[in-house]
Amino acid sequence: MARRKDPTSGSVNNGSHPVYELRLRGLGRGDLEVSIWQLPSPATPRLAEPERTAALKGRPLRMIETRMLRRLKTQGIKNTNLAKNETADRPLDEDSALHLALLFRALAPMRSIDRIRMVAEGVDNMTREEAGYWMGMAIHRSRPRRVLAALRVLLTMP
């Protein structure tokens, strides 16, 4: 098995970890679409081609943009300003990919500013294991909307 250098951490990746990529697309007028993609790797033999894990744009993205940029800054991703139809791909570590993908999936249908804020804080405060559990439930269950609805209820309960 070939060993390769993981661009996100600088360590050698022997194929035992999933590989993720952040894809940015400019929508014009300063708007952005951000998506998380899982790439084929020895750790994910079910994937023959890249698979979109989650995406977010519009108002929900603007609500959590500062939070997202703070997390991306730790990955060395600073410039997210893109012109209309311009794209950029950046490698992303597994921890950031899990948290961002779960956040994007949970927030996509939401409209209430207060509830968006509560869900974003709850996902940010999750451990890697919790985020991995919820993300796995949201991806591999037959009815992921129910899983995400349950997560939103748990994170917005008083």
Tell me how far apart the alpha carbons of residues 154 and 158 are, in angstroms, rounded to a whole number.
9
Hey, CA dihedral for 23, 27, 28, 29, is it positive or negative?
A: negative
Tell me how far apart the alpha carbons of residues 8 and 74 are, in angstroms, rounded to a whole number.
10
Contact 106, 152 (CB under 8 A): yes
Q: Which residues contact 70 (CB under 8 A, 6 or more apart)?
A: none
The most distant pair of C-alpha atoms in the chain lies apart, rounded to whole Å, by: 50
Q: Per residue in 67-85, pLDDT tens?
A: 898 888 888 887 777 888 8
E strands, the chain, in order: 4-5, 12-13, 19-28, 31-39, 51-57, 87-92
pTM: predicted TM-score of the whole model, two decimal places: 0.82
Q: Per residue in 88-139, pLDDT tens?
A: 899 999 999 999 999 999 998 888 989 999 999 999 999 999 999 999 999 8
